[in-house]
Structure formats: structure tokens, C-alpha cells
């Protein structure tokens, strides 16, 4: 039945007839009386934008393989997974799995309960860290798509290394706060000062934080390129909607020349910025 009772409030967000009003209320996108919750606008905008990128990938994987498996790292309340299921995948006739990985048990339980309530049978949730997922037996051996929307700190790196280990063809990442590299830059400042005029780039704490975050994503992109991915980086939504707004999309497309070049650039960056302790993570070996 068409969602007549909410059409007037949600027209501009294009709630489709097949969407579950129960889900939108559970996710607090709609209030109990069916009105658009103003506080949720930002989240809907982010998730809807991401889904526009994920949907064609799902269709192409499904056309090729007759099924797909997607893992969402740092799923939280799994807005992305639920919205994706409700908007796109529940219409599919093929088998698939959307798997949410989350460290907080109460969120995993919440998501399991909601999936059951909505009869979203092809969703699974596991209480695991992104790192533990590498060896978790519950996870299917073949994964086609990895997503991570604001997965905290190094969880994005763990999602990337999972994808590389499982030879995942598609990654959609929106990194979160990245404190690790900023703290390394700070720690190594004295050593860097001796050699580099560009330490002025992160002289002040706010610059250290922003530069650390920027450099982290540059390194991640080079790492993915060095492992044979074609990478694009854009804004997720307008800056007014989110400070953590970088969208990294990577598709497996090996090209030996590009891979070698990216690996060299990555190595040089790690050396120049005194980040050698991270080299191992990005499979850079420095004698």
C-alpha cells in the first residue's frame, strides 16, 4: 500500500512506496506520528548519497554472480544496512547477505531485533571488532562489497586490510576521526624539525589534527592503488552536513604500472613524514 500518510512531510526525501514506515520510525527518521524528524536530515542525506553509489555495484555483482555479500564495518545502528535493504535489496530476487560488524553488543542486539521485527531475513549482525572479522568463522569466505561509514579511528584501516585479505572487489569508505597519525606526527616532531621545512604544516594542534587526518586518507588511497584498486575520492555531502565528509570509492582493477608508482609514493611519504612505524600496515618494507 502506498505510504500516503507520510507523503506530504517526506516528499523531498523521496520516501518510496515500498519503503517500510516502521523502519523509518525505528530509525527516528520519522517521528511516531509520521512527520520527518529534522535531526535526522543529515544522516538521511549521507546514507541516501552512499546508496546511490552502492546500488549500481550491487546490480552489477548480482548480474555477474547471481548473489552478493556486503559487509558494513562499524555499523552502529546500521542505518546504512537497513536503508540499503529497504530501498534496494529487498526488491531483489537473488540471494544475498548484508552483514553488520559492530563492537558494541547492545547495538548488535538492537539491530538483530529490528531485522527480525521487519522480517529482513538476509541481514546478519556480529559483535566483532573490524580486526577480529579477519578470522571470524561466521563470515562468508567470499565478500563482494565492503562499506565503512564513519567507522572510528583505525577501524577503516582494518576494513581495508580485511578487503585486501578477502580480495573484495569494491570498497565504499567514509573515514571517521583519525587521531593515530596526528599523534605520531606530534611524537616525531622533534626529529622531523631537523630535516623538514614542511613541519610548519602541522605546527599548531588544530593543523596537526587536520593534516594527520588528510595524510591518513592520502596514505589509504595510495595503499589501495598499490594493491590494484582504481580509487576515486569526493565529498560525501556538502560540508555543512558533516565534517567527516571524505568519500573513498575503490574498485579492483589491477594495473602493474600504477600499482608500482603508488607503492613508491607511499613509501616516500612514510619516509618523509617519519611514519616508518606504520610501514608494515601498508605493506611497505624499508631496510
- Nearest distance from C-beta of residue 176 to ligand SAM, angstroms: 6
- Nearest distance from C-beta of residue 266 to ligand SAM, angstroms: 23
Residue 207 has φ and ψ, to the nearest 5°, of -70, -35
CB nearer ligand SAM, residue 237 or residue 269 = 237
- Nearest distance from C-beta of residue 81 to ligand SAM, angstroms: 9
Tell me the C-alpha to C-alpha distance, in Å, between residue 87 and each of 79, 119, 148. 12, 14, 19
Residue nearest to ligand SAM (CB): 76
- Nearest distance from C-beta of residue 17 to ligand SAM, angstroms: 25
CB nearer ligand SAM, residue 96 or residue 162 = 162
- Nearest distance from C-beta of residue 237 to ligand SAM, angstroms: 12
**Which residues contact ligand SAM by CB under 6 A?**
73-76, 79, 101-104, 107, 129-130, 149-152, 155, 158, 176
- Nearest distance from C-beta of residue 100 to ligand SAM, angstroms: 9
CB nearer ligand SAM, residue 30 or residue 130 = 130
CB nearer ligand SAM, residue 175 or residue 228 = 175
Residue 172 has φ and ψ, to the nearest 5°, of -130, 110
Amino acid at each position: 500500500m502506498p505510504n500516503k500518510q507520510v507523503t506530504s512531510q517526506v516528499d523531498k526525501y523521496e520516501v518510496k512506496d515500498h519503503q517500510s514506515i516502521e523502519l523509518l520510525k525505528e530509525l527516528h527518521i520519522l517521528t511516531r506520528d509520521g512527520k520527518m524528524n529534522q535531526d535526522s536530515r543529515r544522516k538521511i542525506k549521507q546514507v541516501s548519497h552512499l546508496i546511490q553509489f552502492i546500488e549500481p555495484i550491487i546490480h552489477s555483482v548480482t548480474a555477474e554472480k547471481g548473489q552478493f555479500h556486503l559487509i558494513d564495518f562499524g555499523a552502529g545502528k546500521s542505518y546504512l544496512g537497513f536503508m540499503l535493504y529497504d530501498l534496494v535489496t529487498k526488491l531483489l530476487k537473488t540471494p544475498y547477505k548484508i552483514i553488520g560488524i559492530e563492537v558494541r553488543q547492545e547495538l548488535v542486539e538492537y539491530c538483530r531485533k529490528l531485522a527480525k521485527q521487519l522480517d529482513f531475513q538476509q541481514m546478519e549482525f556480529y559483535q566483532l571488532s573490524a580486526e577480529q572479522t579477519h578470522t571470524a568463522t561466521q563470515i562468508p569466505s567470499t565478500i563482494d562489497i565492503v562499506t565503512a561509514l564513519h567507522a572510528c579511528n583505525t577501524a577503516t584501516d582494518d576494513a581495508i586490510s580485511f578487503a585486501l585479505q578477502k580480495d573484495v572487489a569494491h570498497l565504499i569508505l567514509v573515514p571517521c576521526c583519525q587521531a593515530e597519525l596526528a599523534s605520531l606526527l606530534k611524537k616525531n616532531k622533534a626529529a622531523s624539525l631537523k630535516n623538514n621545512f614542511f613541519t610548519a604544516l602541522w605546527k599548531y594542534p588544530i593543523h596537526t589534527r587536520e593534516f594527520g587526518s588528510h595524510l591518513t586518507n592520502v596514505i589509504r588511497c595510495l595503499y589501495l592503488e598499490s594493491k590494484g584498486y582504481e580509487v576515486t575520492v569526493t565529498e560525501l555531502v556538502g560540508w555543512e552536513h558533516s565534517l567527516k565528509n571524505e568519500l573513498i570509492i575503490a574498485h579492483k582493477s589491477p594495473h602493474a604500472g600504477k600499482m608500482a608508482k603508488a607503492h613508491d609514493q607511499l613509501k616516500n611519504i612514510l619516509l618523509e613524514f617519519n611514519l616508518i612505524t606504520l610501514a608494515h600496515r601498508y605493506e611497505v618494507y624499508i631496510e
